[in-house]
Structure 1
Amino acid sequence: MKLFQERSSRKIVVLEKQGSTEYFCKVYDASDFLSRMRNRFFPKTLKEADMLGRLKEKGLPVPEIQGHMLHAGASALITRAIEPAQSLWEVDPSIRGTIMLEMAVLLLKHGFSHRDMHPGNIILDSSGRAFLIDAYEISAHGRIGKREIIRLFAQIFNASNISPADLEKHLVGFQHIDDSATLAAKIVRSALRTKRRYVRKRVKRSMREGSFSTVLKTGNFSAWIRRGEAIDVESIIARHEANLANGIDILKVQDKTQLSRVDQYCVKSYRKSWPFGEPYARRSWKGLLTLVFNGIKTAGPVALVVFKDGRSSLITSVLDHQDLDQFIGESYRTLDMHERIGIARAFGSVIGTLHSRRIYHADLKACNIKIDPETREFFFLDTDRVGQQRHLSKDRVYENLVQINTSIPRFVSRGERMSFINAYAARTGQNPKEVFIRVWELSRTRGILYCSSEGDRFEGWIEK
């Protein structure tokens, strides 16, 4: 017997036989008196056992119940292990959302809804069949209505990387309730409202002592440090200032900001903000966490430091990848066409995800994005003007797309740029041709500016 997982009053224990997992035992044992009394008369695990039995009767894929125990205020549910098994978190993200959508359709078709649908509650057996392993938040309904459909699919939209088009495909069976396109639009709106509130709440909580941050206050500064990061803030700031004074390990120096590398950390110091304005590093910290909590890649947040005199600093993990514009200028032409199109599509998809979640980055240029060409992942930097909006206007959408279009070298072909737009529009639900035409109309009046290893490069759209 060994502990598999533990969260506050709940833990899961593995029961083994001859070295292989045979059973899982979910134990609920609250520490406070009221919760124990409540569980004594209304056992949580018994409620889940009953729901698992009802799901099993309907033919839905769930673990087999082996027993239930109740002792004083504690209770336990024993189920047969599905072995070997793979968590849905370990599955390719491109198919993770599809598996969840198929499970949602299965639940709704049999009259059930789920209030806690996420990849951690689904596993795959050796044949790839999906199983629901947590049934406590599942409810049975005499009739499934629009509310249950929207709530369940909105959870999946927020927990995966699906598009509105993916939603529509899986809503066809509910046309008797509403048109699939109309339902998909309502689901997206509901999901975005929920996600925005969730992210704002988590960002706000990061500014106080809690599960995400620890707070350090001295006579000179206040620091919010990501929990689990064992760093000496004073030493790192002192070494950063020494780097700037001596011209060592400097990454960038501007009037507003100065960046240097200190071991595995990147330290970005900011000048004082305007009177009564929020410190720049705090804005950047909030923007950084807005991306993190939306599942968008960025530099790992480590600490926020605000000095008594109004200066501020942001400490993040170092990203050793190339800036996107430098990668394109130096390495992109050496790739074959298949690889180039693949990168363009991956980039378009991540920008589409950004905009589909109504996230606006006021300086979305290629020099503020890093790329890992091996994994086709993109990391967003310079986050002091990043925010998740209630509504992202068309002007801001096209401003971002033009910023990208005019910050990469001219030699990138229109076909490759169109591949970017196609992937982008697949995420946002827009017409790709209309987007492409509008972006070129707006880009035509601007020149191209990007960074290379030799410095800033300026180009016109017509080669002379």
Structure 2
Amino acid sequence: MKYLRIKGIDWYLEDDLLDDILNAIELTATDRRNYRTIQVNDNRCFLKSFKEKGLSGFFRRSINPRGKKEFLMGKRLLSFGINTPEPFGYGVSKQGSFIIQRYLNGKTFIDAFYESENKKGYTQQLAMLLKKMKDYKIRHNDLHLNNIIVDDNKLYLIDLHKMEIKRHFSISDEVSNISHSLAMVYHDLSEEEKETFFLTYGNPDIKKIVESTFMDMWKKWIERKKKRAFEGTSIVKKAKDVLYIKDSQWQREEVFKEVIKQDKKIALYRYSDHIRKYYKNKRRLKKAWEAYVVLSYMSLKATPEVFFIKLPGLIRPGFIAMEDLKGRGEELDRYLDRYYNQMDLKRRALFIETLSVFLKGLFKKYIFHKDFKACNIFIKEEGGFLLLDMEDIVFKIANEEDFIRMFIQLNTTIPKYIKHTDRMRFFLKIIEGTEVNKKRSLRRITKASSTMDIVYEGIDGLKFERFK
């Protein structure tokens, strides 16, 4: 390898062509993680920096900096015949370390998986990769599906700085690799696809052990992502007192248009190209941003797009800037008031089916909403649904009490004339496959709903009704 010292960084390079490139660019490891691409003749390279913080960072930088470790692990993987971006060199500075790799023009596994019609094929590929990792005693330690890239129908492992190649590979190591990689998609796999995965992996007996680890691992993962929602990460970027999601068009125009809503909890203002939601309670602002960040890590578009969050000051409230949905659909209560009586039986059944599929898809991923009023479900004109009021999104397994409360909220925020048969059809579809006691919960929902006012926003304004 060739050694060079360029602008305070010690470089260890395998490609002479990188000398001039590195001399021409300014590099610092001031962010926790930073990424950029550089052009080397006809090839694009990927340059990643790691900030080494605190006492642990000092020792790590001195003994085994992450850029160097990722370089060496990349070389080992390639020698095993496991795909990873080819490493060209690494650098070490007082602030952190760097890695230069071949650029992959692919997609993350999670994106490729959900865009594909051949999910079974992808699960088989993933199982074969994990089997090969087991054969070479490789434990990745951060093997979520954003750390596997699909390029030219091949799987590439990335983010290798936590990886270990072990002398002995235990059942705990196996479960770690499998559970981390499957956690984001497991509940979207059919039973046949699950069986195919474990048969291809070659150890069907490990299935029960893996499944038992998911919930605990999921809770820890959610808490980690929420905790880091206010830091600079691979997804969250900082600019002074503003946080935004990587690659989002976060810079917005400042032209004020109108006040949409003001009450004791929030203020909603329309600007020329976005909506600003101000929170009087800092905790609710924090919860809304945390929820959006977690959904972003999950690659789920279940809410309006958030452009950025402006952090609150000592006396200044914070706000979230998000997309303006005006003219692109309407909330469930208005939608039903406008269209329900025009729907024939077939169209009503289709609407109930699509709404229940959307909600059950979220429930499978342990995503729930504490305020399931009809005004918090948005029907997009182009098709599909969104959840509003992100501050009320929680990550949990919904139990019977949660579903009872959900149905009472929906029951009393949609028009009274919605037929009992359609309400029942929706109820049965939602609780299908859950442990909810149908008779007991239905009795409680009916009793509670009958004593409450029905309040919803219709096409002619706010409506008040009662079942009796």
> For this structure pair, what is the TM-score category when the shorter chain's length is used for normalisation?
0.5 to 0.7
Distance 2:310 2:40 in 1: 42
Corresponding residue of 1:198: 225
Distance 2:424 2:239 in 1: 41
Letter of the aligned partner of 1:124 in structure 2? V
1:73-88 superposed matches below 5 A: 78-79=101-102, 85-88=106-109
Contact 2:179 2:210 in 1 (8 A): no
Decide whether aligned partners of structure 1 residues 129 and 75 sit closer, same or farther in structure 2, where only a CA change above 3 A counts.
Answer: closer
Contact 2:110 2:145 in 1 (8 A): yes
TM-score when scaled to structure 2? 0.65
1:129-175 CA-partner distances (Å, limit 9, x unpaired): 33334444333345544433443445446655845877954456789
Count of residues in Structure 1 that have an aligned counterpart in Structure 2: 407
Distance 2:51 2:317 in 1: 43
Decide whether aligned partners of structure 1 residues 205 and 136 sit closer, same or farther in structure 2, where only a CA change above 3 A counts.
Answer: closer
Corresponding residue of 2:444: 442
1:263-308 CA-partner distances (Å, limit 9, x unpaired): 44545567xxxxxxxxx43232023123202215246354365785
TM-score when scaled to structure 1? 0.65
Distance 1:253 1:286 in 2: 19
Pair 1:329-2:333 in alignment? no
Contact 1:97 1:162 in 2 (8 A): no
SS at match of 1:407: coil
Letter of the aligned partner of 1:450 in structure 2? Y
Pair 1:116-2:130 in alignment? no
Name structure 1 gaps, 5 residues minimum: 216-224, 240-248, 271-279
1:33-432 superposed matches below 5 A: 42=64, 44=66, 47-56=69-78, 58-63=80-85, 65=86, 68=89, 78-79=101-102, 85-88=106-109, 90-91=111-112, 93=114, 105-110=127-132, 111=134, 112-126=138-152, 128-156=153-181, 159=184, 162-163=187-188, 169=195, 170-171=197-198, 180-199=207-226, 201-202=227-228, 212=238, 214-215=240-241, 225-226=242-243, 249-252=258-261, 259-266=268-275, 280-295=280-295, 296-298=302-304, 300=306, 302-303=309-310, 314-317=319-322, 318-320=324-326, 321-331=329-339, 333=342, 337=347, 340-341=351-352, 343-353=354-364, 356-357=366-367, 359-361=368-370, 363-381=371-389, 383=391, 394-409=400-415, 411=418, 414=421, 418=425, 422=429, 430-431=434-435
Distance 1:349 1:186 in 2: 22
Shift of 1:365: 0.7
Decide whether aligned partners of structure 1 residues 214 and 400 sit closer, same or farther in structure 2, where only a CA change above 3 A counts.
Answer: farther
Decide whether aligned partners of structure 1 residues 55 and 439 sit closer, same or farther in structure 2, where only a CA change above 3 A counts.
Answer: farther
Pair 1:455-2:461 in alignment? yes
SS at match of 2:139: strand
Q: How much identity, in percent, do the aligned residues show?
A: 16
Distance 2:165 2:411 in 1: 50
SS at match of 1:285: helix
Letter of the aligned partner of 2:148 in structure 1? I
Distance 1:15 1:213 in 2: 27
Contact 1:360 1:392 in 2 (8 A): no
SS at match of 2:225: helix
Distance 2:66 2:111 in 1: 28
Shift of 1:231: 7.6
Name structure 2 gaps, 5 residues minimum: 1-17, 245-249, 296-301
Corresponding residue of 2:13: none
Distance 1:26 1:254 in 2: 48
Contact 1:26 1:45 in 2 (8 A): no
Distance 1:66 1:143 in 2: 27
Corresponding residue of 2:5: none
SS at match of 1:294: helix
Distance 2:369 2:53 in 1: 44
Distance 2:99 2:243 in 1: 35
Contact 2:52 2:60 in 1 (8 A): no
Shift of 1:179: 5.6
Decide whether aligned partners of structure 1 residues 133 and 15 sit closer, same or farther in structure 2, where only a CA change above 3 A counts.
Answer: farther
